[in-house]
């Protein structure tokens, strides 16, 4: 031992190469050891749930910055870094993710994208939300503006996933979850979407509520286009159900005696109150136009086209608003088609016969009140009468043989007079028309069958 | 420590080799011994550096370089001790036959 002490006093010259070695070692090992420690720290905190993690290693000292989602998680992460072999000191720059009060999450949809914003409690939940958003909103760009925040209500993720399903039903709008209150605003993508969203919101977990649901439905649109060239009436848009569909289709068939009805209607909920009644009245007005279109959008009726003569245009403008249910509005842009060339009496007779061969003037059962379905037919007859202004016309009423003769005679006279009155109201001179009733004395078909009796109940026009 | 030894083993081996050589030479060298006072001063400096290393008051890379230097110095001392002892044994074995 004493020898060792004696020898050690002579070891100092070796310090010179040792210092050189030290310098070389410092030069070549510093960066690799820093990289190795950074890798070790990265591996150590891989299983910790952190955000905005930053690791800086200088020498063997680690500066560790991260946002943790709980105090326990924060401590665990720091400990993980401290226990990495080789780490000398840890400068702890970790902090807890900010707590949000109130806890707000939003989804905003416009035409091309969905923007998700507000707070989200954990990366795993954020990933689930983004995955669900991309799945539900196929093809729509999803923009992530969500930021981590503590303080989310329990079952936050379930609620958000439910709300994302509702975003898919929106054309545009915004859904906000504030603590446990859901607010919705915007426009549903399809008819029935508003109702579907309201139904889905009933499945919100206990404790969550709908603070405001201001989702608007898209306009409930029904359209009818009368094309005299193609001889067709095209119906498009929506009807409330199959029953209303059948009613409207039948009404269109009755009112448009000379047109083929092309029915492209679809059934959808969300119709405004009084829809069928309003559409039937509006179709009646359209049937009186030579060409035109009808657009029923929510509670607004827009009618445009050409009436057959001035009187008809005036009547449509004045009467349609009165015939619609309360709360409905009309925008009628009805002009008058140019008058057709005058014809002589024989041509007039032929035209009357042709028109009455396609449709017949209908009355309410057992009365002389003209059925509203016949308005279009009567306008065509009135327009024809206007083309032969010098001709006198006998309007003859006929009945079937049901009931007694006196009653049938009276009814036939009254029905003929009702038609004359219609023409007079339309602006034609009363002295050109003569109402005559023949009761059941001039049948054109067998009164033994219902079909024959229907043919016998008729109005004939005879040009004198 | 074990991490540093594992990571720096080649450099430590180099220091130990230098020490081994120096220890081997020092046994037969004359007139190069440090005075007692110089040894004490050197020991005090080394003790202060060890204290600085243990208390981690030197930050960052300088702290690492201090640790590195002390480890290399320790390896050097071990090498010197082994070198001197081996030379001493070698000389004793050579002296015995004569």
* Residue A4 placed within a domain: no
Q: Do B3 and A12 touch (CB under 8 A)?
A: no
Closest CB to B59: pick one of A9, A15, A61.
A61
Do A140 and A200 fall within a single domain? yes
Query: Does residue A22 lie within any of the structural domains?
Result: no
For A88, name the nearest residue in chain B, comparing CA atoms only: B56
- d(CA A63, nearest CA chain B) in Å: 10
Q: Closest by alpha carbon to A77, among A59, A87, A61, A65? A: A65
Query: Of A94, A121, A152, which closes a domain?
Result: A94
- Chain B's closest residue to A59, CA to CA, is B61
Percentage of chain B beyond pLDDT 70 is 98
Closest CA to A90 of A122, A116, A114, A56: A56
Contact: A59, B65; criterion CB under 8 Å:
yes
Structural domain of A44? 27-94
Q: What is the C-alpha to C-alpha distance for residues B98 and B93, in angstroms, rounded to an integer? A: 10
Which residues, given as ranges, of chain B have pLDDT below 50? none
Whether A396 and A449 map to the same domain: the answer is yes
Q: Over the stretch B4-29, which tens digit does the pLDDT of each residue have?
A: 999 999 999 999 999 999 999 988 88
**Which domain-ending residue is among A216, A248, A280?**
A216
Q: Is residue A114 part of a domain?
A: yes
Verify that A136 and A157 share a domain, yes or no: yes
CA-nearest residue to A89 within chain B is B56
Give the whole-angstrom CA distance, residue A384 versus residue A387.
5
A457 and A351 inside one domain? yes
Instruction: Looking at the structure, tell me whether residues A296 and A239 fall in a common domain.
Output: yes
Same domain, A390 and A444: yes
Per the CB < 8 A criterion, the answer to whether A167 and A114 are in contact is yes
Residue A16 belongs to some domain of the structure: no
A18 domain residue, yes or no: no
Q: Cβ of A25 and B68 within 8 Å?
A: yes
B11 in contact with chain A, both atoms CB, cutoff 8 A: yes
ipTM of the complex: 0.93
From chain B residues 47-66, the ones with a CB under 8 A of any chain A CB are 56, 59-65
The CATH number of residue A267's host domain is 3.40.1520.20
- Best A16, A25, A38 residue to mutate vs chain B (most B CBs within 10 Å): A25
What local confidence, expressed as pLDDT, does residue B97 receive?
64
In the prediction, which pLDDT does A366 show? 85
Residue A274 lies in a domain: yes
Residue A235 sits in the same domain as residue A307: yes
pLDDT at residue number A9 = 85
C-beta atoms of A58 and B69 within 8 A: no
Contacts of B14 in chain A (CB under 8 A): 21, 25
Give the pLDDT score at A10.
86
Whether the CB of A88 is below 8 Å from some CB of chain B: the reply is yes
Can you tell me the distance from the alpha carbon of A376 to that of A316, in angstroms, rounded to the nearest whole number?
Answer: 11
Could you say which of A314, A336, A358 is where a domain stops? A336
Across the interface, whether the CB atoms of A25 and B8 are under 8 A apart is answered: yes
Cβ of residue A33 closer than 8 Å to a chain B Cβ:
yes
Residues A298 and A212 in one domain: no
Residue A12 domain-assigned (yes or no): no
Q: With contacts defined as CB-CB under 8 Å, which chain B residues touch A4? A: 81, 84-85
What does A239-305 look like in DSSP terms, one character per residue? ESSHHHHHHHHHHHHHH-TTSEEEEEEEE-S-PPTTHHHHHHHHHHHHHTEEEEEEEEETTEEEEEE
- The whole-angstrom separation of Cα A388 and Cα A386 is 6
Q: Which residue of A has its CA nearest to B34?
A: A9
B23 touches chain A (CB under 8 A): yes
Interchain contact A8–B (C-beta under 8 A) = yes
Q: Looking at residue B2, what is its pLDDT?
A: 87
Answer whether A15 touches B (CB < 8 Å): yes
Number of domains in chain A: 4
With beta carbons less than 8 A apart as the criterion, state whether B11 and A21 touch: yes
Mean pLDDT by 10 residues, chain A (464 residues): 78 92 95 95 91 93 94 94 94 93 94 92 93 87 94 93 93 94 92 89 93 90 91 92 92 91 90 92 94 93 94 92 93 92 91 91 90 92 90 92 90 94 89 92 90 91 89
The answer to whether residues A268 and A359 belong to one domain is no
Q: Are residues A405 and A367 in the same domain?
A: yes
**Could you tell me if A368 and A426 lie in one domain?**
yes
Strands across the sheet containing A458-463: A433-437, A393-398, A458-463
In a domain, A1, yes or no: no
Q: The domain that contains A406 carries what CATH number?
A: 3.30.1330.60
> In terms of domains, do A324 and A373 share one?
no
Cβ-contact A210, A197 below 8 angstroms: no
């Amino acid at each position: 031992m004493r020898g060792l002490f004696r020898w050690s006093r002579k070891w100092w010259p070796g310090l010179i190469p040792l210092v050189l070695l030290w310098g070389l070692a410092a030069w070549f090992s510093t960066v690799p050891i820093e990289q190795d420690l950074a890798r070790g720290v990265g591996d150590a905190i891989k299983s910790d749930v952190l955000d905005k993690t930053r690791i800086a290693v200088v020498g063997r000292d680690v500066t560790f910055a991260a946002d943790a989602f709980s105090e326990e998680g924060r401590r665990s992460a720091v400990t993980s870094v401290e226990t990495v072999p080789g780490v000398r000191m840890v400068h702890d720059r970790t902090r807890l993710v900010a707590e949000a009060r109130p806890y707000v999450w939003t989804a905003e949809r416009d035409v091309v994208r969905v923007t998700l914003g507000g707070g989200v409690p954990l990366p795993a939940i954020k990933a689930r939300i983004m995955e669900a958003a991309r799945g539900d909103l196929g093809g729509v760009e999803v923009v992530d503006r969500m930021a981590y925040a503590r303080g989310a209500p329990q079952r936050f993720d379930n609620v958000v996933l439910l709300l994302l399903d509702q975003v898919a039903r929106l054309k545009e709008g915004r859904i906000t979850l504030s603590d446990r209150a859901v607010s919705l605003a915007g426009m549903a993508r399809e008819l029935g979407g508003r109702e579907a969203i309201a139904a889905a919101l009933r499945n919100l977990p206990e404790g969550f509520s709908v603070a405001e649901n201001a989702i608007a439905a898209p306009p409930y649109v029904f359209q009818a286009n009368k094309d005299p060239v193609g001889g067709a009436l095209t119906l498009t848009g929506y009807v409330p159900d199959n029953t209303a569909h059948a009613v409207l289709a039948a009404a269109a068939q009755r009112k448009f005696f000379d047109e083929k009805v092309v029915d492209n209607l679809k059934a959808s909920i969300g119709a405004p109150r009084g829809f069928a009644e309003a559409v039937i009245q509006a179709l009646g007005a359209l049937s009186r136009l030579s060409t035109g279109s009808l657009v029923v959008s929510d509670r607004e009726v827009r009618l445009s086209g050409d009436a057959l003569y001035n009187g008809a245009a005036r009547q449509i403008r004045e009467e349609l608003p009165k015939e619609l249910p309360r709360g409905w509005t009309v925008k009628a842009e009805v002009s008058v088609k140019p008058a057709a060339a005058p014809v002589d009496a024989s041509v007039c007779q032929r035209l009357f016969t042709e028109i009455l061969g396609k449709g017949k003037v209908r009355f309410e059962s057992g009365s002389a009140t003209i059925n509203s379905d016949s308005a279009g037919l009567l306008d065509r007859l009135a327009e024809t009468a206007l083309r032969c202004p010098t001709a006198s016309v006998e309007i003859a009423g006929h009945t079937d043989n049901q009931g007694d003769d006196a009653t049938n005679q009276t009814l036939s006279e009254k029905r003929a007079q009702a038609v004359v009155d219609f023409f007079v109201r339309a602006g034609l001179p009363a002295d050109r028309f003569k109402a005559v009733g023949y009761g059941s004395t001039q049948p054109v078909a067998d009164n033994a069958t219902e079909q024959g009796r229907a043919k016998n109940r008729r109005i004939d026009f005879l040009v004198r | 420590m074990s991490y540093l030894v594992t990571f720096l083993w080649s450099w430590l081996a180099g220091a130990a080799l230098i020490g081994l050589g120096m220890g081997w030479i020092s046994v037969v060298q004359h007139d190069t011994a440090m005075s007692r006072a110089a040894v004490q001063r050197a020991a005090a400096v080394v003790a202060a550096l060890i204290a600085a290393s243990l208390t981690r008051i030197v930050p960052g890379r300088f702290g690492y370089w201090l640790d590195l230097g002390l480890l290399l110095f320790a390896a050097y001392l071990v090498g010197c001790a082994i070198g001197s002892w081996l030379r001493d044994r070698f000389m004793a074995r050579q002296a015995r036959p004569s």
